[in-house]
């Protein structure tokens, strides 16, 4: 893949740029029944027959709970200066209510201390999809009370780690929590109620606002509060066709506007409210909610993998919905049956997602316009490939090296064009439990043998380590 940077684009990244990697708790920690932890919705979902590939679960995963010191040492060896991880809510607050379990908090205290000792800046994500099962039993995200329970949990974490962790993220990809969890059912808790999914989206927004306030009430003023969105980069199949442009607008509202509208601008898009009026009257929005949601942000996290290509649906066409979000008879796009999804052009990853670095540039510049002056972090970007050790025990992944080179080139181009991008977190540090796909999809820069728990840095990890050390992008060849 060629570097799309122009001769006018600087070849180096800013000196303070964060070179990080990201993970999430249920995907790597294991130890699901230790030290007071209770089931989350992902424990329940993965143990339900037919929900994950091969019936695989995160019970052991990467055993990071016991191997975190070695994993942090590995991060240091790879020249990372930042690490984004999430907290298992039910490890800290088993029922989603009441006082914290100190043994659970102690794990994260030890992890943070280990990171700081190695010169690695921690970034804590409070919620990466693993709601305590007791809160789901009480109604989950479609219930307003869940947002208030999240705020209490946020305060617990801010009090425990706010003195040592400066960068905080309230929610990761609330779109997935709401629409894959409650509309298409391919993610936990596996419900298929589009009206409930829209309520869940609002209550996730409310949780962000309440959580941000709670964090700031107990943390030093120097700390930053952000959230990570996976807004689709939506492109109409025929840009000159008004029907295709309208279809793209509808999906953009459902993937992005439903979150950044109230969070960044204090209002939901009118086009979203109108398009979904057949499913809900939005009475879940109470007086004062939009002010609560519209908290000042210190930064914005953006997650990007592939663009979305749509058109107006042909009413006579039949077939699977190729939106890249798993197979289900139920759509994750409420009130959007009039939209058809198409495979974007380009090489495909193991997820069937097209490789298109220009989408990352477009996403960055879009939010550079949506929220001028707001610092941006790329909190996830990466690709799954069918990685295997060779006869010498090494793992060569040239496709991932090319993917990272192409996407980081677009980050550098965005910075040159005026975007304030301050860091990049590769997804993922290491192979892990890939949700409903089980252990079949490998996103890691580090290979994991799940039988022996051996970690083997892939070619991409070595390439990224050189980039992090020099602040430049080495050519992909020769790694």
Residue position matching structure tokens 């019936």:
55
CA 163/CA 288 separation, integer angstroms: 31
Strand-pair category, 376-380 with 421-427: parallel
Report which of 250, 304, 236 is spatially closest to residue 278, judged by C-alpha positions: 250
Region of 268 on the Ramachandran plot (φ > 0 left; ψ -120 to 50 alpha; else beta): beta
Catalytic, out of 114, 136, 173, 410: 173
Report which of 433, 447, 476, 477 is spatially closest to residue 55, judged by C-alpha positions: 433
456 bridge partner residues: 447
> Under 8 Å CB-to-CB from 51, ≥6 apart: which residues?
45, 190, 436
Active site residue 329: no
**Cβ proximity of 1 and 61 under 8 Å:** no
Query: In the numeric block, which tokens belong to residue 22?
Result: 């990201």
Strand-pair category, 376-380 with 300-303: parallel
**Cβ proximity of 223 and 215 under 8 Å:** yes
Phi, psi angle pair for 12, to nearest 5°:
-115, 155
| H helix count then E strand count, the chain | 17, 13
Catalytic, out of 56, 380, 410, 434: 380
Active site residue 152: no
Phi, psi angle pair for 203, to nearest 5°:
-75, -30
Residue position matching structure tokens 């960044």:
264
* CA 454 remoteness from chain centre: 25
CA 43/CA 174 separation, integer angstroms: 19
The sheet that has 308-312: what strands, in order across it?
Answer: 234-236, 308-312, 339-342
Q: Which residues are catalytically annotated?
A: 173, 380
């Amino acid at each position: 893949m060629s570097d799309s940077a122009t001769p006018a684009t600087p070849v180096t990244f800013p000196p303070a740029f964060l070179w990080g990697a990201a993970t999430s708790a249920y995907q790597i920690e294991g130890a699901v029944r230790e030290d007071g932890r209770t089931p989350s919705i992902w424990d329940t979902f993965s143990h339900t027959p037919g929900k994950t590939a091969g019936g695989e679960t995160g019970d052991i995963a990467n055993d990071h709970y016991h191997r975190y010191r070695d994993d942090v040492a590995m991060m240091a060896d790879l020249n990372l200066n930042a690490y984004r991880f999430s907290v298992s809510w039910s490890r800290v607050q088993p029922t989603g209510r009441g006082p914290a379990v100190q043994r659970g908090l102690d794990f994260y205290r030890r992890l943070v201390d280990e990171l700081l000792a190695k010169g690695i800046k921690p970034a804590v994500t409070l919620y990466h999809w693993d709601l305590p099962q007791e809160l789901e039993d009480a109604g989950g995200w479609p219930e307003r009370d869940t947002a208030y329970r999240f705020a209490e949990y946020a305060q617990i974490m801010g009090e425990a780690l706010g003195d040592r962790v400066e960068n905080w993220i309230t929610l990761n990809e609330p779109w997935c929590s709401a629409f894959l969890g409650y509309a298409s059912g391919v993610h936990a808790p596996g419900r298929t109620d589009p009206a409930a999914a829209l309520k869940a989206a609002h209550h996730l927004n409310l949780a962000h606002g309440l959580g941000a306030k709670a964090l700031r009430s107990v943390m030093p003023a120097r700390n930053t509060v952000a959230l990570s969105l996976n807004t689709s980069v939506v492109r109409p199949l025929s840009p000159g066709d008004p029907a295709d442009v309208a279809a793209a607008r509808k999906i953009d509202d459902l993937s992005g506007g439903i979150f950044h509208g109230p969070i960044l601008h204090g209002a939901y898009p009118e086009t979203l409210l109108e398009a979904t009026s057949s499913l809900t009257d939005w009475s879940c929005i109470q007086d004062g909610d939009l002010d609560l949601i519209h908290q000042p942000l210190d930064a914005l996290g953006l997650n990007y993998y592939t663009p979305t290509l749509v058109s107006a649906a042909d009413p006579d066409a039949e077939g699977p919905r190729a939106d890249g979000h798993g197979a289900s008879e139920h759509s994750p796009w409420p009130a959007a049956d009039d939209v058809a999804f198409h495979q974007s052009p380009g090489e495909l990853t193991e997820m069937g997602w097209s490789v298109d670095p220009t989408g990352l540039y477009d996403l960055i510049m879009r939010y550079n316009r949506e929220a001028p002056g707001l610092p941006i972090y790329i909190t996830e970007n990466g690709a799954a490939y069918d990685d295997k050790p060779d006869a010498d025990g090494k793992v060569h992944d040239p496709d991932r090296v090319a993917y990272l080179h192409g996407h980081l080139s677009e980050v550098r181009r965005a910075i040159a064009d005026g975007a304030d991008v301050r860091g990049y977190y590769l997804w993922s540090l290491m192979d892990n439990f890939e949700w409903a796909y089980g252990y079949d999809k490998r996103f890691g820069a580090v290979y994991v043998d799940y039988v022996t728990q051996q970690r083997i840095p892939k070619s991409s990890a070595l390439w990224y380590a050189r980039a992090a050390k020099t602040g430049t992008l080495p050519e992909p060849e020769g790694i």
